[in-house]
Amino acid sequence: MTLASAIPVRCRGCSTDIAPGLLACPGCGSLVHADALKELSARASRAAADGDLTGALQAWRALLPMLPPASAQYAIVQERVRMLSRDVDAEPSPQPSRRWKWLAPLGPLGAAIWKFKVVLVALASKGQLLVLGLTKASTFFSMVLSFGMYWTVFGPRFALGLVGSIYVHEMGHVAALARYGIPASAPMFIPGVGAIVRMHQAPLTRVEDARVGLAGPAWGTAAAIVAYAIARATGSALWLAIAHTGAWLNLFNLLPVWQLDGSRAFAALTRAQRLTAAAVLGVAWALSHEGLLILLALVAAFRGWRADAPDEGDTMAFVSYVGLAVLLTILTVAASR
């Protein structure tokens, strides 16, 4: 705590001393951060008027920590954030070209396939975002430490591919968090474990959390596909190993347990959707004999019988989860051969 933050603030309305940490004056109830709240509110309104839903969402989210959680203002802003979040989800995606029109009759499945195609394009066209993460000292130096550790075990070339795969996965989370205006840190690598992105504010809805959680495996899957394509084109066993490892790690992240990405997706699924996902995972195991799928199917079935499932599920999260699981299974099996 700095000295400035420890000094009481005097209310401009009633001259009452306001203790550090309070958000409202105990004397007259006026808000401590009134000026900042007005500025952020105006910024949100300007962004919304310009059609920048993400900018508006980011500004409204920034208001929440400055408002007393029990206040009417907090409830109003929270509801506005929820509405804007739904608007961001409903934003029209770029329309498929004619050769992709066959996806339209597939409904949510077709939309999921199209969105995954967009992720592949993003890896190729939005290199600026991937490079931006490397400019953060915490990301760069923790990545170097992880690279050094993996180098001693697997050699430099595979270590570089492994670290790159993990990085792309984490930047998928960063991109989704930025889309919803959720403040978060840059990726931080943990040698021997992987990497994490710390959210400075929790998602307000299960749907948001599911979208953010699945963005990592989606980007990671795209990176594994790129590695597999290079392996097939060059005959490189190294690229094949990178593709297999990347696919397996992203499949592992779909485990619906603890803080893994699959658990965040399952929080937005109904019991029927969870049990259906478990059945698909079981069929995928029977066809592929990939042992990891047994664990995924069992945990998914267990989550399906729990009482924490919502009454109304997120169809896109369900289709994305199942689609990623099937695609990663195919990729894992193909790369292992």
Question: pLDDT tens digit string along 213-246?
Answer: 999 999 999 999 999 999 999 999 999 999 999 9
| Average pLDDT, integer, range 175-190 | 92
Residue-level pLDDT at 194: 92
Residue-level pLDDT at 19: 85
Q: Which of 252, 268, 266, 336 is nearest to 302 (CA)?
A: 266
Question: pLDDT tens digit string along 164-177?
Answer: 999 999 999 998 99
Question: pLDDT tens digit string along 294-327?
Answer: 999 999 999 999 888 999 999 999 999 999 999 9
Residue-level pLDDT at 103: 45
Identify which of 21-25, 87-91, 181-185, 279-283 has the greatest average pLDDT: 279-283
The domains located in the chain, with CATH, are: 3-90 (1.20.58), 98-336 (no CATH)
Residue-level pLDDT at 273: 97
Question: pLDDT tens digit string along 18-58?
Answer: 888 889 988 888 898 899 999 999 999 999 999 899 999 99
Report residue 198's pLDDT band, with 50, 70 and 90 as the boundaries: very high
Residue-level pLDDT at 335: 94
pLDDT top residue among 221 and 131: 221
Residue-level pLDDT at 92: 56
Question: pLDDT tens digit string along 91-130?
Answer: 654 444 455 454 454 445 455 555 555 555 555 545 556 6
Residue-level pLDDT at 38: 93
Q: Note the pTM of the prediction, 2 decimals.
A: 0.85
